[in-house]
Amino acid sequence: MDDPPRELLSSEAIQSRVKELGAQIAREYAGKSLVLLCVLKGSFMFAADLAGAIEIPLRVEFLGVRSYGDDTRSSGVVQITQDLTRPVAGDHIVLVEDIVDTGLTLSYLREQLLARAPASVKVCALLHKPSRSVSPAHIDYLGFTIENVFVVGYGLDHAERYRNLPYVGVLPTS
């Protein structure tokens, strides 16, 4: 049996921060056409909790993206695996990311979204690893800054496992 990941961020800490982020986003987008854009698969839990914490009308869209495969390091190649179902022209987009690591995926997604003529694009990320940045990563709403460790849980995975953990943890080293 595998050893469980070591807890880095508790479920309680995550939920508290998600509520704060949701309140901030709700204040800033009151009266505007807001699209919460969940980047799959890793941000699905974060996006669901965040949507519930934003107490204004919004639309939820999903964008499937892959850059890790089964490895613990980004390949540097971003693959869109699922596109939006509706246009976002004129809408205010909050792009919901699980983790900003190198910044390459975020830069690519921002460029792709801006080509669709939204009113604005902002980024909400649960986690940021600034030590791994190779491309500038402007994050408008940030949950937590972490060290350069490979994390799982709360939607994040290793080879599609551990997404269901209610906390963010670090895998034991072999």
**CATH number where 37 lies:** 3.40.50.2020
- Bridge partners, 38 (sequence order): 62, 96
- Supply the residues annotated as catalytic: 101
Number of domains, the chain = 1
User: Is the Cβ–Cβ distance between 46 and 155 less than 8 Å?
Assistant: yes
Residue 85 domain flag: yes
The predicted pLDDT at position 76 comes to: 61
pLDDT tens string, the chain, 174 residues long: the values are 478 899 999 999 999 999 999 999 999 999 999 999 999 999 999 999 999 999 999 999 999 987 755 454 555 677 788 889 999 999 999 999 999 988 888 888 999 999 999 999 999 999 999 988 888 889 999 999 999 999 999 999 998 899 999 999 998 874
The predicted pLDDT at position 117 comes to: 97
Helices within 54-148 (DSSP H only): 104-114
Residue 96 domain flag: yes
Residue 148 three-state SS: coil
Residue 71 domain flag: no
Residue 158 domain flag: yes
Q: Which domain holds residue 27?
A: 6-66+79-170
Edge-to-edge order in the sheet of strand 92-100: 79-82, 59-66, 34-40, 92-100, 120-128, 141-145
The predicted pLDDT at position 52 comes to: 98
Residue 74 domain flag: no
Strands 168-170, 151-152: parallel, antiparallel or unpaired by DSSP?
antiparallel
Q: How far is CA 93 from CA 58, 73, 89, 117, 140, in A?
A: 10, 28, 10, 10, 12
Residue 138 domain flag: yes
Residue 33 domain flag: yes
Residue 1 domain flag: no
- Distance between CA 53 and CA 94 in Å, rounded? 14
The predicted pLDDT at position 1 comes to: 47
- Distance between CA 164 and CA 166 in Å, rounded? 6
The predicted pLDDT at position 174 comes to: 42
The predicted pLDDT at position 74 comes to: 52
